[in-house]
Amino acid sequence: MPTILNPYLHFTGNAREAMTFYQSVFGGDLNVSTYGQFQPEAAAGGESDKIMHGQVVAPSGLVLMGSDAPEGMPVSQGSSISVSLSGEDEAELRGYWDKLAEGATVAVPLAKSPWGDSFGMLTDRFGIEWLVNINSGQSSDAQA
């Protein structure tokens, strides 16, 4: 099995809502485990229903993971990390964009870019930054 790199998103109590939203964007299966299932002491702290690990596995093979940060663990939103979606399937990527844009702040509308692809950038309603790049299929001399 090859090594896989997956985005893992952290939330402060709304991971179930966020992961359910991402399942509606990407399709596929959502599996969640709560702190209460694995840490009985979490029930005393009121964290038993919080998500210890959630995972969306889309039919296209995309995997997105997320969890609620336990009490006392800081969560940094708006860091130097963005989740990037790119490819040549315009209908698929525009569909993802349209769904992610619901309730989002669009920084760069999805449109033709100077490099020839369609590109857009937004911060979704959960504070996650997304980049979408739809490859135009044109090759560039600048790329090697």
Listed by start position, the domains of the chain span 8-68, 83-134
Helices (H), the chain: 15-26, 35-38, 41-44, 90-100
Which numeric CATH code is attached to 83-134?
3.30.720.110
Cα–Cα distance for residue pair 89/15, rounded to 1 Å: 29
- The superfamily CATH assigns to domain 8-68 is 2,3-Dihydroxybiphenyl 1,2-Dioxygenase, domain 1 (3.10.180.10)
Give the residue from 57, 81, 73, 63 showing the smallest Cα distance to 11: 73
- What is the arithmetic mean of pLDDT over 79-89? 89
**Which structure tokens are listed for 16?**
């179930």
pLDDT classification of 46: cutoffs 50, 70, 90: confident
For residues 60 and 17, what is the distance between their CA atoms, to the nearest angstrom?
Answer: 22
CA atoms within 13 A on the CB side of 98: 6
pLDDT for residue 144: 36
Q: How far apart are CA 71 and CA 73, in angstroms?
A: 6
Tell me which residue has tokens 């760069």: 108
Prediction pTM value:
0.86
pLDDT of 36: 86
Closest to 31 (Cα-Cα) out of 23, 21, 41: 23
* Structure-model confidence comparison of residues 78 and 58, the more confident one: 58
